[in-house]
Amino acid sequence: MNMRHKVTLTCLLLMTMACAWMMCGAMNDLHGQCLFCCTGVVLAQERALDRAPIGVMGDSVMKMKGMFMVSIQQMRNWMAGNRNGTDDLSDAQIIKLPNPYQVGNSPTSLSVVPQHMVMNMTMLDLMYAPSNLVTLMGTGMLMSKSMDLTTYPGMGPMTDRPQLGSFTTSSLGLTSISLSGLFRLYEGDTARVHAQVGVQRSVGANNVTGEMLTPMNMRQAMVLPYGMQIGDGSTSVISALTYVANNDGWVYGGQLRSRNVIAKGEWNFGDTLSLTGWGQKELVRKTALSLRMTHHRQGAIDGRNSSIIAPVQTANPSNYGGAVTELGVGLNQLLYIFPGDYADRVGMEVTYPIHQNLNGPQMKSGVSIQFGYQKSFD
């Protein structure tokens, strides 16, 4: 199945689930009314528009002192094909590029080409409001990666080389933990502004090994390239500024977010900067649809692991980072699954890159799907 078919199926899935959730939301409204009558909890005050699309991190400060929230999110990203700058690259073009770490009998040109990659991320957020103006947040992220690659022979002519075969590498582990504070700067009747400041520590392994098919047609265990590592051993400052405004069933928002490395390991992924803006429309009080655009920038890898020397583009620290612009469609739905004073929030968002300008030859970003569940308590 090609990427166009995947995107089409994803959109159909989104529309189907939206309809199902709308019906479920209508039924749960009735349940919520019964719950209100029985417990006296004012659930009707909650709206799906109270929260940003599920892909926006640290989107709000909790309203009351003493509130506590649990959030779990699952995201999957598919990548396929390769690109240098804004130009797509074929395997034939990639295996003509020089191998920067050629030693001994290793090939003088790149001989291993990434084909597909799937990344799964699970995030757990715990939030607590010690006051009406401050919310504390702790986040842990678990990540798994899987990449399919094709190997070409390292001997013989450097053009029209036949494929030797394919192989798959994978990695799994806890990648990072972070602690931050969200600070309410302004809140009026129709708009609010808050800031986020925190520290993130990369705790994942940065020396994961795997078996690869070499250009000599041998299976060999090697340290996997940087993109397959779970962590980089760095400590970073995370910061964000968020603005949200509402008007007659519509909500508009924007967020500027950055991550800057302050303590480096042997090597580390580049600093990141992202700007996102969104609009949400309330269909009914418990259901809202969203449209979001995001622009990401990331620097190249700083430093190098001298053990990463495979004749593949991902072994070169310069071939990381770049600029990506994405468009996302999302759904927020309030349900009444578990008892409590607040509704359960279920969110879904599908994003797809509409422009990519990548540093050196690297894999292209593809479609991403994110699901989330949130529950607040007093």
Per-residue pLDDT, 202 = 97
Can you tell me whether residue 63 is helix, strand or coil? coil
Per-residue pLDDT, 157 = 58
Per-residue pLDDT, 159 = 60
Averaged pLDDT of the chain: 89
Measured CA to CA in angstroms, residue 19 lies from 15, 64, 187, 273 at distances of 6, 33, 33, 35
Per-residue pLDDT, 247 = 87
Mean pLDDT of the region 241-262: 95
Per-residue pLDDT, 14 = 42
Measured CA to CA in angstroms, residue 285 lies from 132, 155, 192, 360, 375 at distances of 25, 66, 20, 47, 18
Nearest to 253 by CA among 68, 91, 49, 64: 49
Tens of pLDDT, residues 2-40: 444 443 344 444 443 433 343 334 334 434 343 333 333
Report the domain count for the chain: 1
Tell me whether residue 264 is exposed, middle or buried, using C-beta atoms within 10 angstroms of its C-beta: 0 to 12, 13 to 18, 19 or more.
Answer: middle
Q: At 351, which CATH number?
A: 2.40.128.130
Residue 251 has pLDDT above 50, yes or no: yes
Q: Is the dihedral of CA 301, 305, 306, 307 positive or negative?
A: negative
Can you tell me whether residue 48 is helix, strand or coil? helix
Lowest average pLDDT, out of 141-145, 161-165, 288-292, goes to 161-165
Query: Whole domain around residue 272: which residue ranges?
Result: 3-377
DSSP 105-165: TS-SB--EEEEEEEEEEEEEEEEE-SSSSEEEEEEEEEEEEEEEEEE--SSS-SSSPPP-E
Per-residue pLDDT, 46 = 86
Mean pLDDT of the region 182-201: 97
Q: Are 285 and 291 in contact (CB under 8 A)?
A: no
Q: How far apart are CA 144 and CA 168, in angstroms?
A: 13
Greatest alpha-carbon span in the chain: 80
Q: How far apart are CA 367 and CA 104, in angstroms?
A: 40
